[in-house]
């Protein structure tokens, strides 16, 4: 098949500030941190190689081809290169614009791909009611035993191979979503601050209890919590997958749900969302109605552990979690937001918890958004490496702060260890403290 090339003028890459394209000084310091470069040792699979291709396209020396599209979808978007880069290259912006350009030019077009992208990005993750309806159906399918029956019947053999391989790792959908577990307004005994709570999309369906735990921890630290209903996706999924136009719509939608002036912070507990939510000012810089508001928004978004440490959270008492715990750093928390110390501070504050450091804690686990669906082989390799590192720690519990990493690690490690969000462990410690006080 011939390699399709761009025939349309550049839209997203043309929109990119040229100073961002020029930032790379070709030093190569990012190469040893890049999982795809380490896998192939090819320059084109490295951050430096990808940036060179993007610059050539922006300069008009190269066209957007299928090959370029495949290259940019081979990149995990793990952002390890941004941490390693001494020049401060804004790789997230380059990556998002490059993927958006690839979709705009249609170089990866197939009817099936177009349909799945429309269904997921423009329907399911664009309409909260549809996401919830599908969540309810999935919950019924899993909880009623229908799922087990289908697995036994061999019907899954009818699915395409990649879907068949993925089916066993489908996340368990919760019976109750966040709006059923969290009231719109929850007030602490003594109010010190007022925060907005982001419930997410995947997090809302598959980890609604983490959202509840987050609210409990905030209340225990004097934060009044406002949780708007039907929030839906913040658009991070869209931005990372080349749909910047829909990402803009999602960003405005979520911003409209919060009264920014009345809030001290807006809290997220999902690393992938947080890393996107903190850059709305970039996404909306050309929008006359939202540009200023987005700057205020960015300044108020906080990851939960970042917020807790900044307000001097209360350390629980007693001896609640007597377990060896290791901490996996979600890429979009450590590389995307520069948050490494705070989750460890939260974990170390829990009495009885024995925190053991994880070798290569900042290395990607292979989840990387939908990478484990689009690049299953490379994702499986990274998952295997991560699990081997976890096993060497002897920990029986892995703490991590992103739903994708949570699922990827849990699927890889099986019953050998539990996976929990650091804030859930802190919530557990507060609950244990309360119950020991009431017993006395």
Contact with ligand SF4 (CB under 6 A) among 24, 173, 201, 217: 24
The residue (of 200 and 336) whose beta carbon lies closer to ligand SF4 is: 336
Residue 22 vs 310, nearer CB to ligand SF4: 22
Q: Residue 46 has which token pair?
A: 């490295």
Binding to ligand SF4 by residue 404, rule CB under 6 A? no
Q: How many CB atoms lie within 10 A of CB 165?
A: 14
**Considering the rule CB under 6 A, would residue 50 count as an interface residue with ligand SF4?**
yes
Q: Using the rule CB under 6 A, is 28 a contact of ligand SF4?
A: yes
Cα–Cα distance for residue pair 110/120, rounded to 1 Å: 16
* Interface residue with ligand SF4, options 54, 57, 85, 417 (CB under 6 A): 85
Q: Is 411 in the site for ligand SF4 (CB under 6 A)?
A: no
Q: Which of 13, 16, 21, 30 binds ligand SF4 (CB under 6 A)?
A: 30
Q: Which residue shows structure tokens 């990851």?
A: 303
Of the pair 27, 185, the CB lying nearest ligand SF4 is at 27
Number of amino acids touching ligand SF4 (CB under 6 A): 27
- Which two three-digit tokens encode residue 112? 């099936």
Q: Torsions phi, psi of 351, nearest 5?
A: -65, 135
Mask of contacts with ligand SF4, 90-119, x by CB under 6 A?
-x----------------------------
Question: Smallest distance from the beta carbon of 206 to ligand SF4, in angstroms?
Answer: 25
Residues whose CB falls within 8 Å of the CB of residue 135, separated by 6 or more in sequence, listed in order: 173, 177, 204, 205
Give me the DSSP letters along 26-45: ---TTGGG-HHHHHH--GGG
Cβ 27 to ligand SF4, closest distance in Å? 4
Closest CA to 85 of 145, 3, 20: 20
The DSSP string of 307-348 is HHHHTTPPPP-S----SEEEE---HHHHHHH---HHHHHHHH
Minimum CB–partner distance for residue 240 and ligand SF4 (Å):
11
Contact present, 433 and 319 (Cβ < 8 Å):
no
Residue 124: how many other CB atoms lie within 10 Å: 18
* Min dist. Cβ of residue 99 to ligand SF4 (A): 11
Minimum CB–partner distance for residue 31 and ligand SF4 (Å) = 7
Smallest separation (angstroms) from ligand SF4 to the CB of 82: 7
**Taking the CB of residue 115, how many other CB atoms lie within 10 A of it?**
10
Q: Which of 6, 10, 16, 47 binds ligand SF4 (CB under 6 A)?
A: 47
Residues that bind ligand SF4 (CB under 6 A): 24-30, 33-36, 47-48, 50-51, 75-81, 84-85, 87, 89, 91
């Amino acid at each position: 098949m011939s390699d399709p090339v761009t025939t349309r003028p550049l839209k997203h890459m043309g929109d990119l500030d040229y100073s961002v394209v020029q930032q790379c000084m070709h030093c190569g310091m990012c190469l040893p941190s890049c999982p795809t470069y380490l896998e192939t040792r090819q320059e084109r699979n490295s951050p430096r190689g990808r940036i060179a291709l993007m610059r050539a396209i922006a300069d008009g020396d190269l066209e957007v081809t299928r090959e370029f599209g495949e290259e940019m979808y081979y990149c995990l978007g793990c952002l390890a290169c941004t941490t390693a880069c001494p020049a401060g290259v804004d790789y997230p912006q380059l990556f998002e614009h490059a993927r958006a350009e690839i979709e705009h030019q249609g170089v990866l077009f197939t009817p099936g791909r177009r349909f799945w992208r429309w269904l997921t990005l423009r329907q399911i993750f664009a309409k909260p009611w549809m996401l919830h309806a599908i969540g309810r159906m999935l919950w019924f399918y899993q909880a009623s035993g229908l799922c087990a029956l289908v697995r036994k019947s061999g019907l899954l053999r009818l699915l395409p191979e990649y879907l068949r391989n993925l089916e066993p790792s489908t996340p368990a959908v919760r019976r109750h979503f966040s709006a059923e577990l969290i009231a719109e307004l929850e007030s602490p005994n003594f109010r010190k601050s007022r925060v907005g709570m982001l419930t997410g999309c995947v997090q809302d369906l598959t980890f609604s209890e983490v959202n509840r735990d987050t609210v409990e921890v905030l209340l225990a630290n004097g934060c009044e919590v406002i949780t708007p209903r039907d929030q839906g996706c913040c658009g991070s999924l869209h931005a990372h997958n080349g749909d910047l136009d829909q990402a803009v719509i999602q960003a405005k939608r979520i911003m409209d749900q919060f009264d920014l002036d009345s809030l001290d912070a807006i809290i997220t507990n999902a690393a992938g969302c947080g890393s996107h939510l903190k850059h709305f000012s970039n996404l909306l810089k050309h929008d006359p109605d939202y540009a200023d508001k987005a700057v205020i928004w960015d300044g108020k978004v906080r990851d939960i552990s970042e917020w807790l440490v900044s307000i001097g959270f209360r350390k629980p008492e007693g001896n609640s979690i007597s377990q060896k715990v290791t901490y996996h750093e979600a890429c979009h928390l450590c590389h995307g937001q520069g948050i490494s110390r705070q989750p460890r501070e939260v974990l170390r504050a829990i009495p009885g918890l024995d925190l053991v450091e994880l070798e290569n804690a900042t290395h990607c686990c292979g989840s990387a958004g939908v990478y484990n669906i689009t690049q299953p082989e490379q994702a499986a390799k990274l998952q295997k490496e991560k699990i081997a590192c976890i096993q060497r720690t002897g920990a029986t519990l892995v703490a991590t702060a992103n739903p994708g990493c949570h699922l990827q690690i849990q699927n890889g490690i099986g019953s050998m260890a539990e996976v929990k969000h650091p804030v859930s462990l802190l919530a557990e410690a507060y609950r244990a403290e309360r119950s020991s006080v009431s017993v006395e």
